[in-house]
A and B are shown apart, each in its own frame.
Chain A
């Protein structure tokens, strides 16, 4: 059962990621990214992380992707132009990606004491998670709220028409 679920959703994941690269319209890429994130949520559930699966759906597939599609539609982003791209990206980039993938794969496959996952594994409950989060890691948690506040202010300051632009347009 676990094997079937893993193969199906890992397949969805990879297919969505490849489709993101192949599509030329940003809205299609955004929708395939939603597929990737939803199937990743199922994989988190298989690994016993129920809270993260819910957060993945709500935060990533919900909030962040809505923001993406909103910006795509707001800017009326059309079909992507096919250009040659940078030469450095082709000459150095792709061999580097292949080398990185090969390195990571050999390291993973050589690792001896990696365990295995099955459906009967214990699920990390939200209670357990929140006990660690609000006892040991309370300070980092509070710092992230400041981070979000800064991000909100930065987003508002960046996205609204600045004074400089208005002066130029006059």
Chain B
């Protein structure tokens, strides 16, 4: 028997590690992976709450998040390929055309 708050704390920790990765990583692909990490952290809290209230819809929400994440990964990686073809770099510091 372990309290569900541990699962929620783990999901919060995963989300915050994803945010930190988003801030400190300088490679476009790794930044994208940090976003996937954040999505996974949120998914864990959805499953935890589905367990807490014995609702199946919480798990179905995770299923939809997975579908959206797959679509997002396909489009995002295609954008990364297009950016690489145009600028031939993956460093986010060099892709700063729209920076103020």
Residues of chain A at the chain B interface (Cβ within 8 Å) = 2-3, 6, 10, 13-14, 17-18, 20-21, 26, 29-30, 33, 36-37, 40, 43-44, 47-49, 51-52, 55-56, 59-60, 63-64, 67-68, 71-72, 74-75, 77, 80-83, 85, 89-90, 93-94, 97, 100-101, 104-105, 108-109, 111, 114-118, 121, 124, 128-129, 132-133, 137, 140, 144, 147-148, 150-152, 154-156, 158-159, 161, 165
Number of interface residues of B (CB under 8 A): 69
Beyond A20-B33, A49-B59, is A144–B6 a contact (Cβ under 8 Å)?
Answer: no
What's the Cα separation between A60 and B90 when bound, in Å?
Answer: 23
Query: 21 A-B contacts, Cβ less than 8 Å apart?
Result: A13-B14, A14-B13, A14-B17, A17-B14, A20-B30, A26-B29, A36-B40, A43-B44, A52-B63, A64-B69, A67-B77, A80-B26, A114-B52, A116-B3, A117-B4, A117-B51, A129-B63, A137-B57, A151-B72, A154-B75, A165-B86
At the interface, yes or no: B23 with Cβ under 8 Å from chain A?
yes
Say yes or no: B9 contacts A108, CB within 8 Å.
yes
What is the 8 Å Cβ interface bit string for chain B, positions 36-79, against chain A (1 contact, 0 not)? 11001001100110111000110110111011111111110111
Expressed in whole angstroms, the minimum distance between the Cβ of B16 and any Cβ of chain A is 5
What's the Cα separation between A115 and B26 when bound, in Å?
Answer: 40
Say yes or no: B17 contacts A64, CB within 8 Å.
no
Residues of A close to B67: CB separation below 8 A: 144, 147-148
Beyond A47-B47, A68-B73, A74-B81, is A36–B14 a contact (Cβ under 8 Å)?
Answer: yes
What is the 8 Å Cβ interface bit string for chain B, positions 1-36, against chain A (1 contact, 0 not)? 111111111101111111111011111011011101
